[in-house]
Structure 1
Amino acid sequence: MAHPLGHFKTITKHRHKVIRNCFKAGIFWQGLRHDLSKYSPTEFIPGAKFYLGTRSPNEKEREVYGYSMAWMHHKGRNNHHYEYWTDINLKTKKVEPVEMPKRYLAEMFCDRVAASKTYNGKNYTNHHPLDYFLKGQARYHMHPQTAKDLEIMLRLLADKGEDEAFAYVKRMVKNDK
């Protein structure tokens, strides 16, 4: 059974949290463009069909089909996902991760914080994004420097709070220009 309204509310709530976070990180315009592809039919229809409310519908779509077409569409159009940042290494002839530019890394941080708040609701703590990162396999598939930089930001959030973490991210983006 599809849940278009529930899915719409969830992705919009999440997107607004990301916009606020991007403003704190000094990348407001990126925040305004964040995840617009989720409203496209290719992503929205499966999102509504596999809507769960407590985790990404892409996970459920993956369980049913063995892959998520919505996710493949999404990661190919949104450069704040580390999966976007892969290319063929000319020496090894294999697809490998490349280091993310700092402004997209900053948006990924904003996205992860917002997703943790969206899915954990009132139970959210500043440790949730770090715990999710450490439990998952993502860091093993990212460029080593990208994974290191993201972990620094997430640990800063967990240990010092949002004000210090977002100030750090804002400085990182500014110093990278």
Structure 2
Amino acid sequence: IDTFNQYEFLKDIYNLNDFFYDFIFEIYSNPDLHMDTKSNKSIKRKRIIHRDVYKQLREERAKRNEETGRIAEKFVYDMEVEQLKAAGQEQLAKKVNWLAETEDGHGFDIKSYYPDGKEKLIEVKGSKLAHQDFPFFLSEQERMVAEEEKEAYVITLVESVGTQQMKVVKEIQNPLEKDNLLLKPTQYSCRIRVD
């Protein structure tokens, strides 16, 4: 108690609160395995939650995801600039553009360059946690741009966002080539069949 640090204590409380909401959101929004005791089989289904509570959780999660994304993007932007400077490419470092800071819809967040001058279009995926398999979502726009740009397109995965342990876990160049990613559809676009 003699070494009690109020700042560290508050930081711990905030982190616990974030982990609590992450846990609650994951529990209530992701499919879970449940045992059907009558047939002794496990079935996948979503847990039941009140609509207003779910709406609030989604809104809070969206705000936190946006903040996490911005922190991760800034981290990668700064890293790209520093790497180009270290490679003696001052002019290229000045041209690095954090597009997602002011615009949306490009299908990537940062336009950077390789030291040889080739374009590097970076989509940043960040997580406050550390994951072994690092799950993330890819929009249809991101998928299309990745398919078009091939080698120029890079997905950069950042873990422990907002902490001193924040780091780039992996850069996936040309993510749709071969078996770089395991893609799983999460929604279907539907319309009435007209015969």
Name the TM-score class by shorter chain. Answer: 0.3 to 0.5
Structure with the bigger percentage of strand: 2
Give the greater-gyration-radius structure (CA). 2
With a CA cutoff of 8 Å and minimum separation of 6, indicate the structure with the bigger relative contact order.
1
Structure with the bigger percentage of helix: 1
